[in-house]
Every structure is written in structure tokens, then in C-alpha cells.
Amino acid sequence: MATEPTPHIEDDELSVKELILNIQEWIRYLWSKWKILLIAGIVGSIAGLGYSLWKKPLYTATTTFVLEGGDSKSGLSQYAGMAAMVGISLGGGGGLFQGDNILELYKSRSMLEQTLLSKTAPHADELLIERYIAYNGLDEAWAGDPVLATLDFRKDPSELSPKNLRTRDSIITRFVTSINNNLLNVSKPDKNLSIIQVEVTSPDETFSKALNENLVRRVNDFYIRTKTKKSTDNIAILEAKVDSVRTVMTGAIYSAARVSDATPNLNPTRQSQRVVPAQEAQFTAEANQAMLSQLVQNLEMARMAQMQEQPLIQLVDRPVYPLPVERLGKAKGIVIGGFLFGFLTLLTLVGIKWYRDVMAEDEKAPIAAA
């Protein structure tokens, strides 16, 4: 008895045939629109060329440095008890910034504001914020606004009126946000290493280099001061106590000498007038001498603690002129523009045909049902 072919094989053959026919139909359709695609490619190429001529080159200033945090505890624990006797702690003050927190410090409003209000160079008169306003053309845009046109970032904020101060802070906040989003990039190229990279990219070469250098110097100095603040305060306290005890000890020594000089031919029956004051002064001098010895030792330990906890920041690379520049070449703009416009036009044509085919099937369905 002959076996009939299974239906699903026929369906598969029909599906493959329909697929081939659909592909041929799509190729014929798109080929019929070659003029539209060609025009779109030409328009896109012209637009890409125009964009490459209009777009400003971007200059990137890069600073790379190695950050090694200090350790204030190693080798100093045995001195903590001695220092505590005089109310001094040898512990470090570096708990505020640990690990990658310095990366966020670079993006803080405070650091960026102080950097923007600094000069572009040590001997220059132009502020960074003034150069930022100039290369963005904001001075011309602000010419019609009496408040913005007269805004002076060199004035002390306490000298400004409440309205001008509010405007000044608002402008700086907007600039800081824009720099964080568009110009500044702070990262660790390798998570396992302590190498930090700070990049500033802008259309102004001088601004990129000046902002990068000023920001790195300001943040790193603040970081070191903060890490060593507690030990620095401890050293100042110890130095004040050392000077105070030394002064008292010196005064006691001179006091004993003055007692002897005051009674050169003292009656032997009146020895108490010389011996008692002299011994009191000598005892005071010896007590202060012992205290001074302990304080000096603690002072040296505190200085050692500060040296231990002070982080090491070693610059590896710094920005130098000429900075690396990124430009969109004319040929590249033509190719990208032509491809982009042509691809978008192709998608549009495909979408139109697909929509028409769907609508045509919907119109045929009621007729077939009737």
C-alpha cells in the first residue's frame, strides 16, 4: 500500500517558496527606489561634510598619577599609651577619604568652583571661568541681560547683592554640571592598581590644559591636608606644650640663681632664706625637665606618625602642548553622513511597504470570508 506524503513536508516546501518570492519582491521594490536612496546618500554626504567643517576640534588634557595611601598605625601602636598620658592621640585622620572616594572629590562642586575661579596660569590675568564663558560665546549671549552682562566673578561674594549672588551661584552650578557631564572624566584604568587618570576634553586647548592642571593640584593638596589634618593638629599642640614647659623650666633655673645672688653674705643662722627658695626652684626645674623630655619624645613620635600617614602622590604623565586633538575629517564626515541618511531612508521605505502590505491583507480578509 502506497504511503501519502505528510502534510508538514508540503507546508515546508511552500514556506521556502514563499520566502524566496518575498525576498525577490523586496529586492525589486528596493531596486525601484534606487533614485530615492541615491538622493538620500548624496544629501547625507553633504550634511556630513558640513558637520565636519562646523564641528570644532576637541583637545584632551590628561594627567596620570599614582596614589599610595599612608598607614599611620604600623610601628606606632607602642607609643599610643605614652602620647595618651599628655592627652595626645597619634592616630591618623585619613578616614574621611579612603579608596575611590578621591574620584568623587574631583567632581565635587567645591573643588570645581575653586578651580574655575583660579587663573589660567600663574602669571596670567584671565580666570578659567572667564575663558569658559568666552569660548562658549556666552558673553555675547548675555549682552542683552543687565544682570548677566555686569556679573563679575572676581568680586568677593560678600560684596554682591542677594540677587547677583544668587545669579552667580546659579551660573557656577550650571557650569559645574556641564563640565562634569561633558568635559571631565576621572577614572582608574586598572581597578587593581592605584593609578588615577584625569582627563579634560574641550574645544579650547588652553582651557583644557589649565583646568586639568589646576584641578589636579587643588584636589591633591586638599586630599593630603585632610589625610594629615589630625596629626598636624597634634603636632601643633605638642609643640605648644613643649615651648610652655621649656619656658617654665628655664624660669625655675634662673629663679634658683637669683636667690643665691640676692643673699651673697647670708647669716648661717638664716639659711632657710636661701635654701628653701633655691630647692623649690630646683625641684620645679627638674620636674619640668622630666616632663619636657617626655613631651619631646612624644613630639617626635607624632612627627613620625604624620610621615607614615601622609599619602604619596606621584605624577606619571602631565598635559603638555600640543594637546592630542580629535577632529572629524571631511572624508569621514561624508562617508558617515551618506551611510546614515541612506540607512534611515532604507528603513523608512521598508516600513512604508510593510504597512501597505498589512493594510492590503486586512482589506482582502473580509472579501475572502464572504
Q: Where are the domains of the chain?
A: 34-54+328-348, 58-68+98-227+312-326, 232-309
> Does residue 166 or residue 90 have the better pLDDT?
166
Comparing 185 with 70, which gets the higher pLDDT? 185
User: Percent of the chain beyond pLDDT 90?
Assistant: 18
Give me the percent of the chain exceeding a pLDDT of 70: 74
Predicted confidence band at 362 (pLDDT cuts at 50, 70, 90)? Answer: low
Cβ atoms within 10 Å of 286's Cβ, excluding its own: 13
Nearest one of 167, 176, 62, 165 to 128, comparing CA atoms = 176
pLDDT score, position 345: 87
Looking at per-residue confidence, does 89 or 235 come out higher?
235
Q: Looking at per-residue confidence, does 254 or 119 come out higher?
A: 119
Average pLDDT, the chain: 77
More confident residue, 122 or 7: 122
Q: Tell me the CA distances in angstroms from 71 to 75, 91, 196, 230, 271, one per residue in order.
A: 10, 10, 20, 14, 59
**Using one digit for the tens of pLDDT, what is the confidence trace for 70-127?**
554 444 444 444 444 445 454 444 444 455 677 888 999 999 999 999 998 878 889 9
Q: What pLDDT is attached to residue 279?
A: 65
pLDDT digits (tens, 9 = 90+) for 8-64: 444 445 577 777 887 888 888 878 888 888 888 888 888 877 776 777 789 999 999
Banded model confidence at residue 363, pLDDT cuts 50, 70, 90: low
- Answer with the residue of higher pLDDT: 325 or 90: 325
Which residue in this structure is represented by grid cell 583644557?
208
- When pLDDT is cut at 50, 70 and 90, the band that residue 179 belongs to is very high
Query: Residue 128 CB: number of other CB atoms within 10 A?
Result: 24
Whether residue 322 is preceded by a cis peptide bond, meaning omega within 30 degrees of 0, is yes
Please enumerate in sequence order all residues whose Cβ is within 8 A of that of 225, keeping only pairs 6 or more positions apart, or say none.
232
3-state secondary structure 167-227: HHHHHHHHHHHHHHHHHEEEECCCCCCCEEEEEEEECCHHHHHHHHHHHHHHHHHHHHHHH
Asked if 350 contacts 59 with a C-beta cutoff of 8 angstroms, the reply is: no
Write down the pLDDT at residue 70.
55
Threshold 0.85, pTM exceeds: no
